[in-house]
Amino acid sequence: MQITFWGVRGSYPVPGAATVRYGGQTSCVEVRAASGECVIVDAGTGMRQLGNKLLRESGGQPGQYHVLLSHVHWDHIQGLPFFSPAYIPGTRISVYALLTAADELNQVIGGITRHEFFPMPLEAVPAQFDFHQVEPGVDFVVGSFHVTPIALNHPFGSVGYRIDADGSSVAYVADTAPFDKVLHKQHFLAGPEPLSSDDTVALGAMRAALLARLKGVDTVIYDTHFLPDEYARFPHYGHSTPDQALDICVEAGVRRLVLYHHAPGHTDEQMDQVAATYLAKGASVGIEVLTSFEGMSLPIGAE
C-alpha cells in the first residue's frame, strides 16, 4: 500500500506564506493498494487537487471512487463539491460515513450543495452517489481493502478507520480528543463538563477498543491538532496532542505514527519544531514519528 496526503490541516484552509511547505488544505488522504485500487479518506479541501490528479490518470473517463468519511464537519467534506471526477457522467462515488443523527446521509452530504451554499445541488452532479452507513465494530470490504471502523471521541461523533490490504495496515485516527477529560456527545460544549461514572466507563471502553484495533498496525495517522499548552486551554475542542497520540501508539505496539490535522495557526517554522521534537520523542520509545505535509507519500508495510 501507499498513502498520499492531499490535505493535512484542521478546521479550515489556510493559504499564505506561513503554510507553503506543510500545506494549507484540509483533511484528505489517498490510500492505494498494489493493485492500483484506491480509497480516499476524508473529503476536505485537499480533495480538489486529488480529484484533478485522478481525472488526469483516468484520461477523463468515468471511474468508481470510494470515500471514507471520519465525520461530516466542514473541514472533512468541503472538498467533495470540487472533486472534478464527480462531473464526469458515468462516475460512481460511494461515500461511507457514520450516521450521527436522524437525517439520512444523503441529506447531510447533499446539504452542503444546497442552493444557498453551492451552485449545483448533489442531484444535478453527473456522478452517481451511493451512501453507506458505517458502524464501529462492523467491518466491511471495499475492493481489496478490509476496513475496520473505530469509534472516536469528537463532538457529534467521529469514526477512525483501520485499513488492511497487501498484507499490511494503516489506521486513520481523526478527529479525536483523548479519552480522559471530556466525553463528547451530541451537544455544544462551552467548556469541559464534569464526567459521570458512566462517562468514565464509556471513555475507557472507547480507548480499549481503539487500542485493540490498532494492535500491530504498521502506520497510524493521528489527529494531533494541538500542542500541549493549546490542548490545556481547549480540552473540549475534540482534538489531541502528539504526546497523547504517542501514548496510544506505544500501548498498541505501532511501528510508525504520522502527525496530522495541524492547527490552522501553526506556521511552517512551528511545524518544523513539532516534527523535530516528536521525531526525537518517538525514537526514544521505538516509534518512527513523521509529520505529514501536503504531497507526502509513504509506502506502508514491507518496502
Partner 1 sequence: MKIRFWGVRGSFAMSGRDFLRYGGNTSSIELVSNSGQRLLVDLGTGATELAKHLMGAEFGKGQGKLPILLTHTHLDHIQGLPFFTPFFIKGNEIRIMGADPISGLSLEATLQNQLAPHYSPLNGLENLAAGVTISSFVPGGTLEVPGFVVQTAAVPHGSMWTTAFRISADGKTVTFLSDVEYPSVDEPLPQALALAQDADLLIHDAMHSDLDYEMRRGWGHSPARAGVVVAERARAKRLALFHHSPDATDDMIDEVVARTSSETSVPVFAAAEGAYLDV
Query: Scanning residues 263 to 302, which ones bind partner 1 (CB under 8 A)?
Result: 264, 294
Q: Is 285 left (phi over 0), alpha (psi -120 to 50) or beta?
A: alpha
Among 1, 5, 19, 163, binds partner 1 (CB under 8 A): 19
Binding window for partner 1 (CB under 8 A); candidates: 18-26, 29-37, 275-283, 285-293 = 18-26
* In the complex, least distance from residue 252 CB atom to partner 1, rounded to whole angstroms: 27
Q: Tell me: does residue 138 bind partner 1 (CB under 8 A).
A: no
Q: How many CA atoms lie within 13 A of 175 on its CB side?
A: 29
As measured in angstroms, the least distance from the Cβ of 1 to partner 1 is: 27
List the one residue out of 45, 56, 46, 48 whose CA is nearest residue 5.
46
Q: How many residues contact partner 1, by CB under 8 A? A: 43
Of residues 74 and 228, the one with the C-beta less far from partner 1: 74
Secondary structure letter of residue 181 according to DSSP: S
Binding residues for partner 1 restricted to 223-252, rule: CB under 8 A: 237-238
The least CB distance from residue 170 to partner 1, in Å, is 25
Nearer to partner 1, 49 or 168 (CB): 49
Residues 62-121 interacting with partner 1 (rule: CB under 8 A): 72-74, 77-78, 82, 100-101, 103, 108, 111-112, 114-119
Minimum distance of partner 1 from residue 259's CB (angstroms):
18
- 3-state SS record for 264-285: CCCCHHHHHHHHHHHHHHHHHC
Reduced to 3 states, what is the DSSP secondary structure of residue 17? helix
Cβ proximity to partner 1, 34 vs 232, nearer residue = 232
Q: Is residue 188 at the binding interface for partner 1, with CB under 8 A as the rule?
A: yes
Asked if 205 interacts with partner 1 (CB under 8 A), we say no
CB of 198 to partner 1, least distance (A): 22
Looking at the DSSP bridge assignments, the partners of residue 31 are: 3, 39
Residues 69, 72, 76, 79: is their CA dihedral positive or negative? Answer: positive
Of the two residues 112 and 202, which places its CB atom closer to partner 1 in the complex?
Answer: 112
Alpha carbons 208 and 225: distance in angstroms, whole number: 22
Least Å distance, CB 205 to partner 1, is 23
Residue/partner pairs of 112-118 with CB below 8 Å, 24 or more apart: 112/74, 112/77, 112/78, 112/80, 112/81, 113/81, 118/81
Residue 149 Rama label (left phi>0; alpha psi -120 to 50; beta): beta
In the chain, DSSP finds a helix count (H) and a strand count (E) of 7, 14
Tell me the CA distances in angstroms from 18 to 21, 24, 68, 77, 208, one per residue in order.
8, 9, 30, 24, 38
Q: Is 14 in the site for partner 1 (CB under 8 A)?
A: yes
- The residue ranges that bind partner 1 (CB under 8 A) are 11-17, 19-20, 23-25, 45, 48, 72-74, 77-78, 82, 100-101, 103, 108, 111-112, 114-119, 155-156, 186-190, 237-238, 264, 294
